[in-house]
Structures are given as C-alpha cells and as structure tokens.
Amino acid sequence: MHSFLLQYPAPAIGVTPNEDNDENLSTDGLASDSANISSTASKEEKEGQRQLCMQPLPGTLPETANQLSNAARALLMRLLERDPKVRMRSLRQLQQSALYMGFNFEHVKARKVSPKSILERHFPQNSEMDEAICEADKQNFVAFDQAAVIEN
C-alpha cells in the first residue's frame, strides 16, 4: 500500500527556490530574463522578477512548456499521465493541486464568484488593448465587405 501512495507526487506548497534552484531555472529556460538580474540585487528582488517572468499574460498560452510555473507543470503532467492509476481523475485531486492552492472553491460552489467577474478582472472593458485589437481587425478585413467577396 505504501508503494501505491508513493506514486502520487505531493504538491509543492510553500516551497521557495534556493540558490541552487536559481541556476537551474535560468539554464532550463524557465526564467530567461533572470540572466539580466544583477548579482547585487536582493533575494526578494530576484524572486519578484522571476515571478514576473513566469506569470503568463491572461488569455495567452506559453510558447514552450519551459515557461510554465512548477505548479502548472505538475498539474499538466498529472493530467497527461498514461497510467490511469497515477493520473489525476477527481475534482478533489484537482482542487488540492498546487496550481489551485490560493483558489476558494467554496465561493464557486456558493456562486459568490461569477465567470464574468473573472473575465472582467483579466480583460477590462474599453481598454487600450481592445481598441488596438479592433484597429488590427479592421486592417485585416479591409476587403471583407467588398462586392466581389459578397457575391462569391
């Protein structure tokens, strides 16, 4: 029974990187901008800049798996596990994953959190980004309303 329990990796809760991990992160490409951090910067500044490098922009996907946080990578690996005995297969396991440790699922059950509020927080209405996207769309579809396009 103990070997069965050992197959499930424990989530990394409250784990902070140490100096040895700093070198590994920069060589793995997880924090490519960490090479720009000066050696005289404090440990807190380094950690803050590393977190900024690893935080994805809302609504975007990372270019490579190396840009995922450790919690996201662990969750992805558990979801994609081939062995069904090891694969994450319940909502409780998902809720207990390191990626969702700061998320209050009781508020979701009580409907205190709406999907619209989450979207509005990450994608504010009437932002400069919306206007830029609208302008880009207009440029991409200049010929869309032309008669030749409509007839075909």
- 41-92 pLDDT, tens digit per residue, is 566 665 555 555 555 566 677 777 778 888 888 888 888 999 988 888 888 8
CA distance 99 to 71: 5
- The DSSP letter of residue 87 is S
User: Under DSSP, is residue 139 helix (H, G, I), strand (E, B) or coil?
Assistant: helix
Q: In which residue are the tokens 């579809």 written?
A: 141
- Whether residue 1 is predicted with pLDDT greater than 80 in this model: the reply is no
Phi, psi dihedral angles at 144 (to 5 degrees): -65, -40
- Prediction pTM value: 0.38
Hey, what long-range contacts does 65-71 have (CB within 8 A, 24 or more apart)? Answer: 66/28, 66/29, 66/30, 67/29, 67/30, 69/99, 70/12, 70/15, 70/98, 71/11, 71/12, 71/97, 71/98, 71/99, 71/101
pLDDT tens-digit series, residues 103-143? 788 887 888 877 777 777 766 666 666 666 677 777 776 66
